[in-house]
Amino acid sequence: MAKASQPIDKKRRKPHQARAAATVAAILEGAAQVLEAGGLAAFTTNAVAERAGVSIGTLYQYFADKNALLRAIAEREMAQALTAVAAALRGESEGTVESRVRAMVRAIVNAFHGRQRARKAVVQAVLAQGLAIEMMAPVASFIAAEGAEPRRGLGQLSREQVFVLSRALMGTIRAAVLEEQPFFKSAAFEDELVRLVLSYLNGVRQLDAE
Amino acid sequence: MAKASQPIDKKRRKPHQARAAATVAAILEGAAQVLEAGGLAAFTTNAVAERAGVSIGTLYQYFADKNALLRAIAEREMAQALTAVAAALRGESEGTVESRVRAMVRAIVNAFHGRQRARKAVVQAVLAQGLAIEMMAPVASFIAAEGAEPRRGLGQLSREQVFVLSRALMGTIRAAVLEEQPFFKSAAFEDELVRLVLSYLNGVRQLDAE
Amino acid sequence: MAKASQPIDKKRRKPHQARAAATVAAILEGAAQVLEAGGLAAFTTNAVAERAGVSIGTLYQYFADKNALLRAIAEREMAQALTAVAAALRGESEGTVESRVRAMVRAIVNAFHGRQRARKAVVQAVLAQGLAIEMMAPVASFIAAEGAEPRRGLGQLSREQVFVLSRALMGTIRAAVLEEQPFFKSAAFEDELVRLVLSYLNGVRQLDAE
Amino acid sequence: MAKASQPIDKKRRKPHQARAAATVAAILEGAAQVLEAGGLAAFTTNAVAERAGVSIGTLYQYFADKNALLRAIAEREMAQALTAVAAALRGESEGTVESRVRAMVRAIVNAFHGRQRARKAVVQAVLAQGLAIEMMAPVASFIAAEGAEPRRGLGQLSREQVFVLSRALMGTIRAAVLEEQPFFKSAAFEDELVRLVLSYLNGVRQLDAE
DNA sequence: GATGAATGAGTGTTCATTCAT
DNA sequence: GATGAATGAACACTCATTCAT
């Protein structure tokens, strides 16, 4: 996950690790390209290896099987997205709840660096493979953490509330990705996503007040 | 499922159509059983044909390909769910907005008659095949129709708002299905789904008032 | 004793139809030819299918996997050999013990209809796959039955004695096959095999007399 | 073959050879362990190298290919077994024929130091690779030498007789190994193996007397 | 129409072996 | 010499689909 940020310039010390890291990176990049170009249907281990410029044997040296490769891509993108979200929130640490939510929404929408087809394929694969739970865990725990902050004016969120809030937001974004909605990156869509979150939090608070 | 209860005894008039309808019903039922028993992985055309008690050739007489079969299952379940929703709403035609929303949520959650594994598999397949758009269309138009009703106190919903509302609700339910959440049919979860919808509608109205 | 022709596989379809039976025969014949031509190394499922003039898919319609195919060949040859042995013994029902043993030895040596390379490959495969036990069962039980005949002047053979007698005989023949000994079908070799069996039975009897 | 028994302590004189011998020993030991742990299926060159604690490249420095490695193991065990047989016979140089045969049988049965799974795997490999002839050569020549001894009261054994006697004995032991017979190391089994050899020698002698 | 035997392109995966470092 | 990353030919097996009967 954090390997990319490690210094790779210690050529003297560990040439092997540097080579291996480059190979892994090439494979992941090749996988993303295959996904972007042909979707999930074109995503075969041989195709990825060829695109990555490595042999199929090398691919299997680093990934136990096809699913492991898929999981690695999903995890990498997830981690990057969460990092972006965290950075956005840090930049808004003094902002209003709305500004913080908006920063989060924007970071999630802008994930995957514009590779929409690849993103769609990854989402499909994650759903089809049943990896959705693990993938959602960080998002949910993030929201739970936010919801648990008394400073934010929110009471503690229940298990069901955390679930509904995280899945409503992610599910909507997911649907927009899968359906390739043209308004995906529009301001109007972002506004509605923000409204979705804030309204729900509002609804929870009102109940607590009663 | 409901087709079996249709009169098949009009041998004189349309013997062929009656037989064909029974065959189609048997295939769909077999498909649902295979899905329920072994998930998407076990869903092969041969397995469905065997389970349905027809030959593989016969299956292809009624369904152009595997996807068509999948689509048919999804559509059948979708139609049944929408019928149930409509019935629920009819029963609540005089109720409050909340009671109407609750009726709708309950109808959707209770769809698929408890075949959770089959439902999960169908959802996965629909998502993986990119059929989600068509599947969501009726739900979205239903919500749009509701939103367009001036009597309900809601202003006209924008395209993005219809999208967000329908996908937030369905996405959350979908996630609960895919993740096999234990609280799926609990009252607490239903409450939160209702809150999700009402809060969002509330949020939209407040904006309109400004 | 009458363990002649059993169903080839329980999971796969039984060759009830004439066409299917012909296909199975073609596959088995193709397999034997591949074995004869290139030994165990050339024995790939694709090669067998091609040689048999059927598609690889058809092969798998009748044999669960590669081993099942191998087992089927071994069983077929085994059954034929045992039939030949039984026939030979029937012809010698009035003969001496020696003439009966000689008939049996000859039938076993002449099994596989002269396809020595195929026989060698099958033996290797059977040994390598650990199927030897099942394959030997009929031979052992046959010898046990012979040993149990009071008329033959032999006392009951112990478990170890049945094992040693059957494996000594078969092991010697096996070795001659595997090593491609030139004297395999010579009278001198047959004489020694007969001597091996008779001497051992003699040795057992002498012990019993003490 | 006999490398393990060579002195490895001449560090000064031949450091390279000493190191090489240790490496070879490590590889052979690793190979035996892999065989014992997972049978022939687990016997891959990479697995052996890892178990032996050397790189795959180093393994190929000492063994031309996988078969060479297999052959080396078989030869090592064979040599050890023959050494044990010779030692046993030396201890019985004044004994009866039976006591000498028994000593030999026991030495062969007890070969491989109780690594039954490894022994089985080696036997399978030897048979599958067609190395059986070379492996049997020493045994056969040993028996031939015994049979040629006029002092033993045996006439010269013919080529076929040497073959039958050696393969009958080894084939029976082999079968017991491959089939993992529980009575493998029992006294009853040993008795029968001894009887097998003595009876046959007896049978040969009687013929000569006629 | 119904059947089901036959098809075969295509897939994931293994593993003996090489060679640049 | 030692290393181990990389190679890629080869293989077993699947399953949607067709078509002769």
The 10s digit of each residue's pLDDT in D163-196 is 999 999 999 999 999 888 999 999 999 999 999 9
Interval A101-153: pLDDT, tens: 898 899 889 888 878 888 888 888 888 777 777 777 777 777 777 666 655 55
- Look-up: residue for tokens 């069962």? C137
Interval B61-91: pLDDT, tens: 999 999 999 989 988 888 888 888 888 888 8
Whether B8 and B21 have beta carbons less than 8 Å apart is answered as: yes
Query: A161: which chain B residues are within 8 Å (Cβ-Cβ)?
Result: 192
Cα separations (Å) of D3 from C24, C50, D160? 52, 48, 34
Whether B157 and A189 have beta carbons less than 8 Å apart is answered as: no
- Does the CB of D90 sit below 7 A from strand F? no
CB contact under 8 A, D132 and C175: yes
Q: What does the alpha-carbon distance between residue A188 and residue D190 come to, in Å, rounded to a whole number?
A: 90
- Alpha-helical regions (H) of A11-131: 15-38, 45-52, 56-62, 66-91, 97-109, 116-129
Q: Which of B184, B192, B197 to mutate to test the interface with A (most CBs of A within 10 A)?
A: B192
Residues of chain C with pLDDT under 70: 1-17, 146-155, 208-210
Quote the percentage of chain B above a pLDDT of 90. 39
**Which tokens hold the place of D97?**
């024929």
End-to-end CA distance of chain B: 50
**Exposed (0-12), middle (13-18) or buried (19+): which is A70, by Cβ within 10 Å?**
buried
Tell me how long chain B is. Answer: 210
Series of mean pLDDT values for 10-residue runs along chain A (210 residues): 40 60 92 91 94 95 94 87 84 83 89 84 82 75 68 70 92 90 95 94 78
Task: Give me the pLDDT at residue B83, please.
Answer: 86
Quote the percentage of chain A above a pLDDT of 70. 85
The beta-carbon neighbor of A40 closest among B128, B186, B198 is B128
Q: What does the alpha-carbon distance between residue B42 and residue D38 come to, in Å, rounded to a whole number?
A: 31
Chains A and B form CB pairs within 8 A to the count of 134
Count other C-beta atoms under 10 Å from residue B200's C-beta: 26
Q: What does the alpha-carbon distance between residue B27 and residue B33 come to, in Å, rounded to a whole number?
A: 10
Residues of chain B with pLDDT under 50: 1-14
Half-sphere exposure of C142 (CA within 13 A, CB side): 26
CB contact under 8 A, C132 and D181: no
Query: C169: which chain D residues are within 8 Å (Cβ-Cβ)?
Result: 168
Q: What does the alpha-carbon distance between residue D101 and residue D109 come to, in Å, rounded to a whole number?
A: 12
Task: Give me the pLDDT at residue C32, please.
Answer: 92
Q: What does the alpha-carbon distance between residue B102 and residue D94 come to, in Å, rounded to a whole number?
A: 101
Sign of CA dihedral B70, B72, B74, B76: negative
Q: What does the alpha-carbon distance between residue C14 and residue C8 come to, in Å, rounded to a whole number?
A: 8
Interval C89-137: pLDDT, tens: 888 878 888 888 898 899 889 888 778 888 888 888 888 777 777 777 7
**Which tokens hold the place of C33?**
């030819």
